[in-house]
C-alpha cells in the first residue's frame, strides 16, 4: 500500500466512526493497534482514550512531540443526535498516523519522537489532562496541525503559526430583593441591575491594539409570574482576547464593571470564571522549523493566521516547559469548520503528512 493510499484509507475509516470527547474508544483502539504494528512503545489511558506512542533512537538528542486530536462533534439533525467529524480531527489523526508509519519505516538517528493522539479537544479537556499526566515532561517541542477553512488557506497553502485567541466563560448571578410589581420600591430589581451590568460590560476596553471582546450571551430570571420582580438573575458571558495578558486584564475589568454597576442600585453579584483556553504562544525556532518544511513541500509558506477561535493545544505550553508551533493547513475546506456539511480536498492529507514527516526528520532524523 502506498503512503498516499494509506493516509486516505485511514481517513475514510476514522471518518466512518466519529466519536465525541472521551468516548473515542474505537478510534483509539484502531490507532493504538496500528502504532504497535509499526513498532512504537504505546502508552494508553490518558484522559480516558488518549495515547502516546514513542520511538527512541537510543542516542541522546531532541525529544519532539507531534499531536493530533481525535474527537468528533455531536449534532441534532432531524430530531436525532448524530456524531460527525465536522472539525477535521479525523484528518488530523490520519496525517499524524501516516507520518508515524513512515518515520517508523525510516527510523530516527537521535533523540525521540512522540506521537500524541489526544481526545476531547472540543470539550477542552484532553490536552490539559495529557499535559498534567507527566508523559510529555521530557519533550522539548510539540507540533500541532489542523485543516483550515478556504477563507484562510486554500489547497496547497499552509501557515506554520495558527494564532488562536484565548477564550473564557463567565457566569454571573445578580442578587436583588423580590417584590410585587405594584410595590417595586420594596425590592431591588435584578433586571434593572442586569441592564446596568450589560451596559458596563459593553463599555469595557483594554488594549485597542489587541483584538478582544466581552458579550452577554444569555440572561435568565426564572419562570415567575408577570407581576413579580424576581430576586435573582443569571448572566452568561463569552470573553475573547488574542493574547493571554489582555485576557487577564479583561477578566478583571469585567468583574469590576459588574460589581460597581449592580451596587449602584443595591444589588450584588456572584461571579464564576471558567478555566477557558489560553492563547497561542509560539517559539520562533519551532515556527521556523515548521516554515522550512512547509516551504519544501508547498513551495512557500503563508504568514501567521490570526483566528479568534480557541484551541486546547495551548494547554501544553501553559502547563509544560515546551516550545510549540501549530500548522494551519489549506484544504479547500467548505463551508466551514463545525458545519455538518463540511468537506475538503483529500489531497491535503498527503501535503500535511509530508510536512510533518519533514519536521520530524529535520529534528531527530
Residue 121: name the closest of 24, 247, 212, 42 by CA.
24
Q: Alpha-carbon distance 66 to 23, whole Å? A: 22
Query: What SS3 class is residue 75?
Result: strand
CA angle at 161 for the pair 63 and 124, rounded to the nearest 5°: 75
Query: What SS3 class is residue 262?
Result: helix
Q: Residue 89, annotated ligand binder?
A: yes
- Whether a cis peptide bond, with omega within 30° of 0, leads into 335 is yes
Q: Residue 15, annotated ligand binder?
A: no
H/E element holding 252? helix 244-263
User: At which residue does the C-alpha cell 470527547 appear?
Assistant: 21
Q: Strand 63-69 to strand 141-149: parallel, antiparallel, or no bridges (unpaired)?
A: parallel
Q: Alpha-carbon distance 103 to 357, whole Å? A: 7
Which residues are 55's β-sheet partners?
113
- Are 160 and 107 within 8 A, CB to CB? no
List the grid coordinates of 118. Answer: 489526544
Q: Residue 163, annotated ligand binder?
A: no
Of how many residues is the chain composed?
365
285 burial via Cβ count (<10 Å: 0-12, 13-18, 19+): exposed
Q: Alpha-carbon distance 17 to 83, whole Å? A: 9
- Are 265 and 193 within 8 A, CB to CB? yes
Largest separation between any pair of C-alpha atoms in the chain: 82
Q: Residues with Cβ < 8 Å from 248, sequence gap 6 or more? A: none
Residue stretches of the annotated binding site for Mn(2+) = 87, 89, 122, 146, 338
Residue stretches of the annotated binding site = 87, 89, 122, 146, 338
Amino acid at each position: 500500500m502506498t503512503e498516499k493510499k494509506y493516509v486516505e484509507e485511514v481517513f475514510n475509516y476514522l471518518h466512518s466512526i466519529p466519536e465525541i470527547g472521551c468516548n473515542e474508544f474505537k478510534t483509539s483502539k484502531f490507532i493504538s493497534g496500528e502504532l504497535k504494528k509499526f513498532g512504537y512503545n504505546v502508552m494508553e489511558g490518558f484522559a480516558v482514550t488518549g495515547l502516546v506512542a514513542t520511538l527512541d533512537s537510543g542516542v541522546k538528542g531532541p525529544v519532539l512531540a507531534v499531536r493530533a486530536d481525535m474527537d468528533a462533534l455531536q449534532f441534532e439533525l432531524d430530531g436525532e443526535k448524530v456524531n460527525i467529524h465536522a472539525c477535521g480531527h479525523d484528518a488530523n489523526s490520519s496525517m499524524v498516523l501516516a507520518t508515524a508509519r513512515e518515520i517508523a519505516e525510516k527510523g530516527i538517528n537521535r533523540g525521540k519522537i512522540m506521537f500524541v493522539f489526544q481526545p476531547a479537544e472540543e470539550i477542552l479537556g484532553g490536552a490539559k489532562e495529557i499535559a498534567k499526566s507527566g508523559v510529555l515532561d521530557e519533550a522539548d517541542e510539540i507540533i500541532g496541525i489542523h485543516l483550515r477553512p478556504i477563507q484562510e488557506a486554500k489547497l496547497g497553502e499552509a501557515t506554520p503559526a495558527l494564532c488562536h485567541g484565548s477564550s473564557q466563560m463567565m457566569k454571573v448571578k445578580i442578587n436583588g430583593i423580590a417584590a410585587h410589581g405594584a410595590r417595586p420600591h420594596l425590592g431591588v430589581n435584578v433586571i434593572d441591575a442586569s441592564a446596568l451590568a450589560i451596559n458596563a460590560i459593553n463599555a469595557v476596553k483594554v488594549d485597542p491594539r489587541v483584538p478582544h471582546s466581552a458579550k452577554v450571551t444569555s440572561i435568565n430570571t426564572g419562570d415567575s409570574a408577570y407581576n413579580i420582580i424576581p430576586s435573582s438573575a443569571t448572566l452568561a458571558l463569552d470573553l475573547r482576547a488574542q493574547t493571554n495578558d489582555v485576557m487577564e486584564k479583561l477578566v478583571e475589568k469585567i468583574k469590576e464593571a459588574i460589581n460597581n454597576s449592580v451596587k449602584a442600585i443595591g444589588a450584588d453579584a456572584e461571579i464564576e470564571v471558567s478555566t477557558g483556553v489560553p492563547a497561542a504562544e509560539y517559539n520562533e525556532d519551532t515556527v521556523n522549523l515548521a516554515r522550512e518544511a512547509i516551504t519544501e513541500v508547498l513551495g512557500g509558506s503563508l504568514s501567521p493566521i490570526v483566528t479568534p477561535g480557541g484551541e486546547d493545544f495551548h494547554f501544553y505550553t501553559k502547563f509544560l516547559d515546551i516550545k510549540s508551533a501549530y500548522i494551519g493547513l489549506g484544504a479547500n475546506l467548505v463551508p466551514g469548520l463545525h458545519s455538518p456539511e463540511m468537506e475538503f480536498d483529500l489531497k491535503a492529507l498527503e501535503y500535511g503528512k509530508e510536512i510533518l514527516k519533514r519536521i520530524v526528520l529535520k529534528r531527530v532524523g
